[in-house]
Amino acid sequence: MAHNDMKQAETSYSGFLNMLKWLSILAAIVTVIAVLLITS
């Protein structure tokens, strides 16, 4: 049973890291656009 819990935890953690990666990229893009709009 503990093995199944660990597998599920790894899957959840992997999904979390993937989401975090895409949110970081999105935040960087939004920041660049905001800076370009402010400076223009």
Mean pLDDT of 15-39: 97
Whole-number Cα distances in Å, 10 to 25, 28, 31, 33: 23, 27, 31, 35
pLDDT higher for 17 or 4? 17
Per-residue pLDDT, 29: 98
CA 27-29-33 angle, to 5 degrees, is 115
Structure tokens at 34: 């905001």
Q: What is the pLDDT of residue 37?
A: 97
Residues spanned by the domain of 27: 1-40
